[in-house]
């Protein structure tokens, strides 16, 4: 099949959707398909990152990516003169079998791709949980019309269905995010600067308010006052960096390490950690949780819809029901003081990833959806893969 993956989010931007699109492209290419990523044209800067290693698929860029604030995060939209006609001409030249838009109702590039698609099959993947949408509420007919343009609608979790069902009545395929367990592995090299006997708590995420870095820092202050032999490692960056750094006192500064944006070296940060922590307040799934679980690390995370679909409290880690830093501190202290519990939860997380979330499994499910929509045969073995929304079978 000839497949176009359309996304506002791709390298050099880091984030969950970027990782999803890139790994899906790698996996589909490995399965013998002709894949093109269609995305923004963002001027490279010093802090931008690109994927490790060579890729066999194409990346085609249109317009200019610019940032906007939306849904508690810094989002991206693509703008440019004659963007629609340029994209339409490109689709006509390439004659894709499948045009697959990510965050398909989000302006601007995915919406234009749906409108200009000439492919036999058009698919959309919804990645985001939201409480409400002004756009869907204000433009219900247009939103519904764009939804109807998609032959297949994928959501990464049941949390996405919960959000979308407030505005649309349609059917969805639940196909989760994935992770490469050969890349994120307990065998990744440990970073020497963190291998000094201190226990390491890791936070990974953009410096967006919803990702909970303030809660993380405040929780660490409490932890440090009761368990001195630990440090916090913060991987990520964003416009709010000066604000978050200002929350760190001189006394705590030696034990809070701001690593900045990290792409290729992330497996070593997970390998160097003893606990992964995510006090995020809003997420549809949690790719970072999968990365930590694949790395064999116990997880302390917010008890929110998207995270409950990835992990189970008391199995792969601890889900924290309260939003304040004190509750996160208690969960972290419990794990810091119990090495056997850390090992058991980390081992269970690794097994969960191998059973349900490797990219080989996820890409195969996407491929089979394409084939079904194109009128092909569905592999019975793939059809038998457990639905990710089912209860955990691992004991």
Neighbours of 189 (CB within 10 A): 11
Q: Taking all residues of the chain, what is their mean pLDDT, rounded to a whole number?
A: 89
Give CA–CA dist 66/278, Å, rounded: 27
Q: What is the pLDDT of residue 118?
A: 96
Least Cα distance to 154 among 133, 131, 125, 183 occurs for 125
Q: What is the pLDDT of residue 67?
A: 66
Cα–Cα distance list, 237 to 20, 128, 213, 286, 369 (Å): 20, 21, 11, 18, 36
Q: What is the pLDDT of residue 68?
A: 61
Contacts of 221 (CB under 8 A, 6+ apart): 249, 252, 325
Element (H, E) at 99: strand 98-102
Q: What is the pLDDT of residue 389?
A: 34
Give CA–CA dist 28/2, Å, rounded: 10
What is the rounded average pLDDT of the residues 160-181?
Answer: 93
Pairwise pLDDT comparison (175 vs 74), residue with the higher score: 175
- Per-residue pLDDT tens over the stretch 56-94: 999 999 988 776 655 555 566 777 789 999 999 999 999
CATH assignment of 2-178+358-383, among 3.30.565.10, 3.40.1670.10, 3.40.190.10, 3.40.50.2000: 3.40.50.2000
- Per-residue pLDDT tens over the stretch 281-316: 988 788 899 999 999 999 999 999 889 989 999 999
Pairwise pLDDT comparison (378 vs 238), residue with the higher score: 238
Q: For the chain, what are the domain ranges?
A: 2-178+358-383, 192-355
Superfamily of domain 192-355: Glycogen Phosphorylase B; (3.40.50.2000)
Calculate the CA dihedral of residues 263, 264, 267, 269 and round it to 10 degrees. Answer: -60
2-178+358-383 against 192-355: fold identical: yes
What is the rounded average pLDDT of the residues 24-48?
Answer: 84
């Amino acid at each position: 099949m000839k497949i176009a993956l359309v996304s506002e989010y791709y390298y050099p931007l880091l984030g969950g959707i970027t990782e999803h699109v890139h790994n899906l492209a790698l996996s589909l290419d490995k399965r013998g398909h002709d894949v093109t990523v269609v995305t923004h044209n963002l001027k490279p800067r010093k802090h931008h990152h690109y994927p490790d290693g060579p890729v066999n698929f194409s990346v085609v860029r249109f317009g200019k990516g610019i940032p906007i604030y939306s849904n508690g995060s810094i989002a991206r939209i693509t703008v440019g003169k004659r963007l629609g006609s340029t994209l339409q001409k490109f689709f006509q030249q390439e004659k894709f079998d499948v045009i697959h838009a990510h965050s398909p109702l989000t302006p601007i590039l995915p919406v234009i791709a749906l409108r200009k698609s000439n492919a036999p099959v058009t698919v959309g993947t919804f990645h985001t949980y939201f409480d409400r949408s002004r756009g869907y509420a204000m433009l219900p007919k247009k939103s519904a019309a764009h939804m109807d343009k998609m032959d297949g609608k994928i959501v990464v979790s049941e949390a996405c269905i919960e959000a979308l069902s407030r505005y649309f009545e349609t059917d969805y395929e639940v196909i989760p995010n994935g992770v490469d367990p050969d890349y994120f592995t307990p065998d990744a090299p440990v970073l020497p600067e963190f291998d000094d006997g201190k226990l390491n708590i890791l936070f990974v995420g953009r410096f967006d308010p919803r990702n909970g870095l303030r809660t993380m820092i405040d929780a660490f202050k409490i932890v440090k006052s009761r368990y001195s032999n630990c440090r916090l490692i913060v991987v990520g960056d964003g416009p709010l960096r000066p604000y978050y750094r200002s929350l760190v006192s001189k006394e705590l500064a030696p034990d809070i390490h701001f690593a900045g944006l990290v792409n290729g070296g992330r497996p070593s940060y997970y390998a160097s950690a003893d606990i992964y922590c995510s006090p995020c307040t809003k997420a549809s799934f949690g790719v970072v949780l999968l990365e930590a679980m694949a790395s064999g690390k116990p997880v302390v995370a917010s008890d929110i819809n998207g995270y409950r679909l990835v992990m189970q409290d008391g199995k792969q880690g601890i889900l924290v029901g309260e939003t304040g830093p004190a509750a996160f501190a208690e969960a972290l202290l419990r794990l810091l003081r119990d090495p056997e519990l850390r090992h058991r939860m980390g081992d269970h997380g690794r097994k969960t990833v191998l059973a349900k979330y490797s990219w080989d499994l996820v890409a195969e499910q996407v491929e089979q959806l394409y084939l079904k929509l194109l009128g092909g045969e569905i592999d019975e073995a793939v059809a038998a893969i457990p639905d990710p929304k089912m209860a955990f079978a691992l004991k």
